[in-house]
């Protein structure tokens, strides 16, 4: 498809386990964003990649969270030693450049039990 693809769509994990969430952006989009949305809440910024520039990691809530973007395309968000408060929907978006139309994926619903 032509849209932003996220996998898995749902993930249930035990407290203390590590998880990896994947985002395939729209082809050609240089900017990639990760946001977190808790149930019924707004969008919390996590991290922003723009081309080859150093990512803006200012939204990562703790050092348990990290993200990388390989080859300027696919991105992986890793949460180490998951906690129950990490349960949320993790949303990825991409755009041609920062400050232009951004398109979201369907999200990964993470449940930590």
Partner 1 sequence: QQQVKQSPQSLIVQKGGISIINCAYENTAFDYFPWYQQFPGKGPALLIAIRPDVSEKKEGRFTISFNKSAKQFSLHIMDSQPGDSATYFCAATHPRNQFYFGTGTSLTVIP
* Positions that interact with partner 1 (CB under 8 A): 4, 33, 35, 41-43, 45, 48, 50, 53, 56, 59, 91, 93, 97-107
* Element housing 40 (H / E): none
Residue 106: CB minimum distance to partner 1, A: 5
Q: How far is the CB of 81 from partner 1 (least distance, A)?
A: 26
Distance in angstroms (rounded) separating the CA atoms of residues 61 and 65:
7
Nearest distance in Å: CB 3, partner 1: 9
> Position of tokens 């032509």?
2
Token pair in block for residue 72: 């300027």
């Amino acid at each position: 498809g032509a849209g932003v693809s996220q996998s898995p769509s749902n993930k249930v994990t035990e407290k203390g386990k590590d998880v990896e969430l994947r985002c395939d952006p729209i082809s050609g989009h240089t900017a990639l964003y990760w946001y977190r949305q808790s149930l019924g809440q707004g969008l919390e910024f996590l991290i922003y990649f723009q081309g080859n520039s150093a990512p803006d990691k200012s939204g990562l809530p703790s050092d348990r969270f990290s993200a990388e973007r390989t080859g300027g395309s696919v991105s992986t968000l890793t949460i180490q030693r998951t906690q129950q408060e990490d349960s949320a929907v993790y949303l990825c978006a991409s755009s041609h450049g920062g400050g232009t139309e951004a398109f979201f994926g369907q999200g990964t619903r993470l449940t930590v039990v």
